[in-house]
Amino acid sequence: MADDHGDTAGSTAAGKDVEQHGAPAHSAGTAVVATDEVPNPGFPPHRPRVTDLDPKVDKQQERRVSTMFLLSIVGSVLAVVAYFVFPIEPGNMQSVRNNTLFLGLGITLGLLGIGIGAVHWSKALMQGHDLVEQRHGTRGSEETRAKAVEVFTLGNEDSGFGRRTLLRRSLIGALVVTPLPAIVLFRDLAPADNPVTLLKHTFWEEGMRLTRDPSGTPIKASDLTIGSAFQVIPEGLNDSEHRIEEKAKASVLLVRLKPEDLEVSEGREDWNYDGIVAYSKICTHVGCPVALYEQQTHHLLCPCHQSQFDIKREAAVIFGPAKRPLPQLPITVDSEGYLIAKSDFTEPIGPSFWERKL
């Protein structure tokens, strides 16, 4: 029976193997090569179709196929007509819908007519019985392979690729080093700054007012009732040169709770103002905006991967793949009663990165 190595007797079993032109038979591995196989019964008798027997049906099918092709012409013409009959009127959504629908239906008919017609032609009118083609081993014939080996041998002798080791090795060395400039070339995909430095700072700075997103109007502490939440951007962000990049780091969620509900850790006693707290809105997982605030539970939910943060406990993670709490923005009020930042965030906001703690 078959074993791991080169059992050639087995691989000639009836009808199981590819014909090999003088090539060594291949091991069947752990396959059980049958010695008492049920014989292949050969092709079943051919059963002619109705179209093969009845010329009338044949003619009828022919008419059906050409009807499909004619329908296709009708469809394509209708598509052209629809293009002009259903123009888009600016501001009219219904006209866009009609244009898309009727143009699309016309093209559909044009395409399906050809497709269904051709397939039906093939199935009903073209030769109905199967044909047989012999396979040959994929491996080249021994003669061809010998010629191929000869080509390489001649090439090797002529060039001395195998013999002249110094030449070969220096060529390989050169080829390995050539791509290096390509790596350097890609440095200027981004500006000269160091991304680590950039990631550690945001638009916020001491004394900057908290303003509504997107209008940019400042917020008074008295504007917030208990339980309300504001989407916040720093003052002047809308006029900054890199508005979106800065907003992607400086977005803040402002919430007012009862002061006694807040669990404030040491060193953060003066980061909130009378129960008003500000947290980065950028998730510490992969950076989606943590936009869903549940007023009852004081939980923030990230809609992307369902990390949840507890506002009462300094935005600590209570569920989901995020690890770190949302960074808190220290805030207070200025002389006019507007909420202002006491400083930038004290740690990098958003998703973790390798050099975050450096």
Site for another protein in 236-295 (CB under 8 A): 242, 244-245, 247-249, 251, 281-283, 285-289, 291-292
Q: What minimum distance in Å lies between the beta carbon of 167 and another protein? A: 32
Find the part of the chain contacting another protein (CB under 8 A) among 14-22, 149-157, 272-280, 338-346.
Answer: 14-22
Residue 108 or 222: the one with the smaller Cβ distance to another protein is 108
Of 316, 327, 198, 217, the closest CA to residue 263 belongs to: 316
Distances (CA, A) of 79 to 75, 88, 128: 6, 15, 36
Residue 210 or 282: the one with the smaller Cβ distance to another protein is 282
Query: Tell me, what amino acid is at 351?
Result: P
Q: What minimum distance in Å lies between the beta carbon of 344 and another protein? A: 15
22, 39, 179, 267: residue in contact with another protein (rule CB under 8 A):
39
> How do 276-280 and 252-256 pair as beta strands?
antiparallel
SS3 314: coil
49, 62, 121, 342: residue in contact with another protein (rule CB under 8 A):
121
For position 11 contacting another protein by CB under 8 A, the verdict is yes
Q: What minimum distance in Å lies between the beta carbon of 113 and another protein? A: 8
Q: Which of residues 171-230 bind another protein (CB under 8 A)?
A: 186-187, 189-191, 193, 195-196, 198-199, 213-214
The set of long-range contacts for 21-24, using a CB threshold of 8 Å and a minimum separation of 24, is 21/136, 21/137, 21/141, 21/142, 22/141, 22/142, 23/137, 23/139, 23/141, 23/142
Residue 279 or 333: the one with the smaller Cβ distance to another protein is 279
Q: Would you say 155 and 161 are in contact if contact means Cβ atoms under 8 Å apart?
A: yes
Q: Which of residues 86-105 bind another protein (CB under 8 A)?
A: 87-88, 90-91, 96, 99-105
Phi and psi torsions of 354, nearest 5°: -50, -45
For position 155 contacting another protein by CB under 8 A, the verdict is no
